[in-house]
Amino acid sequence: MSIEQLAETAQAMVAAGKGIIAIDESTGTIKKRFDSVNVESTEENRRAYREMLLTTPKLGEYISGAILFDETLRQSTKDGVPFTKIMNDAGIIPGIKVDKGTHPLAGFPDEVVTEGLDGLRARLEEYYKLGARFAKWRAVIRIGEDIPTGTCIDANAHALARYAALCQEQGLVPMVEPEILLDGDHDIDTCYEVTEVVLRTLFSALYEHNVMLEGTILKVSMVLPGKDAEEQASIEEVAAATLHCLKASVPATLPGIVFLSGGQSDEDATAHLDAMNRMGEKPWPLSFSYGRAMQSAALKIWAEDMTGNVAKAQETVYARARENGLAALGEWSKDA
């Protein structure tokens, strides 16, 4: 795929008023979600749940793409229609999570590095044939006493860059996700400093690996104080700090930036995005790539009656998509 085609896909992923739904939970993670609502995590229940999400009427009005897990990319509706066809017919670009999760960083017991580069080229080739047009790799950075170290930041940036280069070689838009965890009691200034270093290191690594930024999407955390911090920040303070940090560290050639919700409440994730998009001109579109903040309410409704509550759960999915789509335009209102 040419850079023009990669750029076209990347731009479509951050189209005005649209964002990405993340339904790429691993088997272990989706089991935890299902356990919380007393649903057994069988393959059929996982398939049925994700069918409910992906067949939500008019979802494509506010959702440009969906990140899937390997299992989901290969699945179909109960009537035998591949999920990828359902998505393409709705104007939703199929994406795929390709990393193999975090593992302890050797020599640094309090930090982790994401693995999954071995065999990635062949997996990406298969995913493209299965219909995926973008991929996602998540790195995890923790803030604590004497961490993150430069070694941890460098190791994760290097892995993200190698992954991104392989994606573009196989015709997939890489979504690079360096998540700064919300865990901890650090203040917003510390989060800002760490986020800026992480992003500067990441883009340096992408440059060194000849990754074409025009065909790349950044998925990033907002600049927030730790969830255990004594002093929390207002919606406006988070929005201003995040926007300032991004302008200081992200090249303007990037097609767009999407945020992860990262443990925020549904409403806060939407409010922060909306506030940023009300703050004047920006070099790139700012949108969303939410998982729990898009699904949590719908999951509870669906779990109460997995066949009878499908339409009701889908109404909630659509409502959350609409709210975040409006926030991506800076047009969301809490009372709307």
Angle between helices 120-130 and 150-169 (to 10 degrees): 50
The size of the chain, in residues, is 336
Q: How far is CA 33 from each of CA 20, 28, 46, 99, 182, rounded to the nearest angstrom?
A: 20, 9, 11, 20, 19
Q: What is the DSSP string of 60-75?
A: GGTEEEEEE-HHHHT-
Picking from 128, 108, 103, the residue whose alpha carbon sits closest to that of residue 118 is 103
The verdict on whether 85 is a catalytic residue reads: no
The verdict on whether 237 is a catalytic residue reads: no
- Candidates 25, 177, 179, 323; catalytic one: 177
Helices and strands (H, E) in the chain, number of each type: 12, 10
Q: How far is CA 195 from each of CA 141, 178, 180, 307, rounded to the nearest angstrom?
A: 9, 9, 7, 43
- Candidates 219, 236, 312, 334; catalytic one: 219
Q: What is the Cα–Cα distance from 179 to 220, expressed in whole angstroms?
A: 6
Please name the residue ranges forming H helices in the chain. 3-13, 27-36, 43-54, 70-73, 83-89, 120-130, 150-169, 188-208, 235-249, 266-277, 292-304, 310-327
Active-site residue list: 177, 219
